[in-house]
Amino acid sequence: MENILGLVALGCGLIVGLGAIGASIGIGLMGGKFLEASARQPELINELQTKMFILAGLIDAAFLIGVAIALLFAFANPFVLA
Amino acid sequence: MAAEAHAPTASEYIVHHLQHLQNIKQKSVIDLSVVNYDSVIVSVVVGVLGLFFFWLAARKATSGVPGRWQAAVEMMVEMVDTQAKATIHNAQSRKVIAPLALTVFVWIFLMNAMDLLPVDLLPVIWAQIYGAAGHDPSHAYLRVVPTADLSTTLGLSVSVLILCLIYSVKIKGLGGWLHELVTAPFGTSKNPLFALILGVVNLFMQIIEYVAKTVSHGMRLFGNMYAGELVFMLIALMGGAAALSLSGVLLPLGHIIAGSIWAIFHILIITLQAFIFMMLTLIYLGQAHEAH
């Protein structure tokens, strides 16, 4: 029982932490490229901005789904009930 | 503290808040007999409200100087129209799809915006009503955000999938669509044996594509809203924890600061997620129009 609790706590930390690393790298790469591209061709900024926001949402989503699952495990742990 | 017979612990509080107001308890992961009344009622109410306010704008529309609300509605309509023109090149189907996209955007935005109400406001009111009706108020469950319910978001994304299938058949014809199912993405071959193998592989890939599109479409919105709701609950717990300890006098301050920051960040998230859901609807429907 305590074993499971501890492992789930570790798991939650890993889910949030690794997810945050991935999302940050993704957002950083994309934001950097966006700035580069808009410095090179300022007339494309509007068009690129829409696409950047879509992609930001897509990148963010994977991380936030992870956070949701981790928080669910932390508070309503399905493994302990079973 | 002894007077409070059952002050809920943190876990109990969260579990209580994650329980839907539903007809029967959900037993398995997929249980089609469960109806979440809270999601249904809240989504219909905000949908009707949205319709009403847009109707107001349409009724008072002038070609002269527009009022503030009319200008806002015009901006939204124009934004959706631009996106629809960019992704769907068929003017005939745009007549249906552009209003659909606007509906999806506004409706999801309004459902997401329920997240900005204080987490305990409606559940506490509901518990009072439930208690006044002679039931045990601690069994009054209510989840306010319809898009934090997987049933709602997957329902929306499955509707988009069905529309995609309808448009595929409508644009390409039944034969054309079936032909595409077995020839895209890898093409076909002159040799009948290879053609058969490629056909099976292509069909398999197409099915995976449709399932992955639909599931990720719904899960993305759900995950964002669910995480948002949970973080709001954690912030609420932070303020609540102050009552239990002497060292926690500063926690209400943290509660206010963290709550404000997360709520402001959440205004961005709810708009962005509604926008993304609309864009992906347009993109998927645009794909249904393209012949390979």
Select which of B224, B245, B247, B260 is catalytic: B224
Task: Say if residue B123 is preceded by a cis peptide, omega within 30 of 0.
Answer: no
> Average pLDDT, whole number, for chain B?
84
pLDDT tens for each residue of B75-121: 999 999 988 998 888 888 888 999 999 999 999 999 999 888 888 88
Say which residues have a Cβ less than 8 Å from residue A65's Cβ, sequence separation at least 6.
B219, B220, B222, B223, B224, B227
Over 70: is that where the pLDDT of B140 sits? yes
Residue that the structure tokens 């932070």 belong to: B238
pLDDT tens for each residue of B89-99: 888 888 899 99
Over 50: is that where the pLDDT of B1 sits? no
Mean per-residue pLDDT, B114-143: 82
B59 is catalytic: no
Q: What is the ipTM of this complex?
A: 0.74
- Element (H or E) spanning A52, and its range? helix A45-75
Give burial (CB, 10 Å; 0-12/13-18/19+) of B270.
buried
Tell me how far apart the alpha carbons of residues B221 and A64 are, in angstroms, rounded to a whole number.
Answer: 10
B157 is catalytic: no
Distance from the Cα of B149 to chain A's closest Cα (Å) equals 12
pLDDT band at B21 (very low <50, low <70, confident <90, very high): confident
A54 contact residues in B (CB cutoff 8 A): 275-276, 279
Tell me how far apart the alpha carbons of residues B223 and A70 are, in angstroms, rounded to a whole number.
Answer: 11
Phi, psi values for residue B28, rounded to 5°: -120, 175
Which pair of structure tokens corresponds to residue B203?
């069909």
Q: Please tell me which of the candidates A67, A68, A75 has its beta carbon nearest to residue B14.
A: A75
Which pair of structure tokens corresponds to residue B169?
């058949």
Q: What pLDDT is attached to residue B50?
A: 92
DSSP state of B26: -
Select which of A51, A60, A61, A65 is catalytic: A60
Q: What pLDDT is attached to residue B4?
A: 44
Inter-chain CB proximity B279 and A76 less than 8 Å: no
Nearest chain A Cα to B222, which residue?
Answer: A65
Inter-chain CB proximity A65 and B234 less than 8 Å: no
Contacts of the segment B34-39: beta carbons below 8 A, 24+ positions apart: B34/B151, B36/B143, B36/B149, B36/B151, B38/B141, B38/B142, B38/B143, B38/B144, B38/B146, B38/B149, B39/B143, B39/B146, B39/B149, B39/B151, B39/B152
Q: What pLDDT is attached to residue B247?
A: 64
B224 contact residues in A (CB cutoff 8 A): 60-61, 64-65
Q: What pLDDT is attached to residue B106?
A: 93
Longest CA–CA span in chain A (Å) reads 60
Helix (H), strand (E) counts: chain B = 8, 0
pLDDT band at B2 (very low <50, low <70, confident <90, very high): very low
B173: amino acid identity, one letter: G
Inter-chain CB proximity B224 and A72 less than 8 Å: no
- Structural domains present in chain A: 2-77 (1.20.20.10)
Q: What pLDDT is attached to residue B246?
A: 63
Q: Provide, rounded to the nearest whole percent, the portion of chain B with pLDDT above 90.
A: 24
pLDDT tens for each residue of A33-48: 999 999 999 999 888 8
| Cα dihedral across residues B166, B172, B178, B182: positive or negative | negative
Over 90: is that where the pLDDT of B7 sits? no
Q: Using an 8 Å Cβ cutoff, are B20 and B143 in contact? A: yes
Look at residues B206, B89, B220, B282 and name the one whose alpha carbon lies nearest to residue A58.
Answer: B220
Residue that the structure tokens 């709602």 belong to: B152
- The residue with greater pLDDT, A10 or B133, is A10
Say which residues have a Cβ less than 8 Å from residue B56's Cβ, sequence separation at least 6.
B69
Q: What pLDDT is attached to residue B248?
A: 65
Over 70: is that where the pLDDT of B202 sits? yes
Instruction: Name the β-bridge partners of B22.
Output: B36
Tell me how far apart the alpha carbons of residues B262 and B109 are, in angstroms, rounded to a whole number.
Answer: 17
Look at residues B289, B251, B224 and name the one whose alpha carbon lies nearest to residue B87.
Answer: B289
Look at residues B120, B75, B96 and name the one whose alpha carbon lies nearest to residue B259.
Answer: B120
Over 80: is that where the pLDDT of A1 sits? no
Q: What pLDDT is attached to residue B109?
A: 94
Q: What pLDDT is attached to residue A80?
A: 65
pLDDT band at B142 (very low <50, low <70, confident <90, very high): confident
Which pair of structure tokens corresponds to residue A81?
């009930």
pLDDT tens for each residue of B44-77: 999 999 999 999 888 887 888 888 888 889 999 9
Looking at B114-249, list the stretches that DSSP marks H as alpha helix, in order from N- to C-terminal side.
Answer: 121-132, 150-183, 192-241
Over 90: is that where the pLDDT of B243 sits? no
Q: What pLDDT is attached to residue B3?
A: 38
Lowest mean pLDDT among B6-15, B162-171, B279-288: B6-15
Tell me how far apart the alpha carbons of residues A78 and A73 are, in angstroms, rounded to a whole number.
Answer: 7
Mean per-residue pLDDT, B239-258: 74
Over 70: is that where the pLDDT of B292 sits? no
Which range, B5-9, B18-22, B164-168, is most confident? B164-168
Distance from the Cα of A35 to chain B's closest Cα (Å) equals 20
Q: What pLDDT is attached to residue B161?
A: 94
pLDDT band at A67 (very low <50, low <70, confident <90, very high): confident
Lowest mean pLDDT among A3-7, B135-139, B273-277: B135-139
Inter-chain CB proximity A76 and B231 less than 8 Å: no
B42: amino acid identity, one letter: V
Inter-chain CB proximity A76 and B11 less than 8 Å: yes
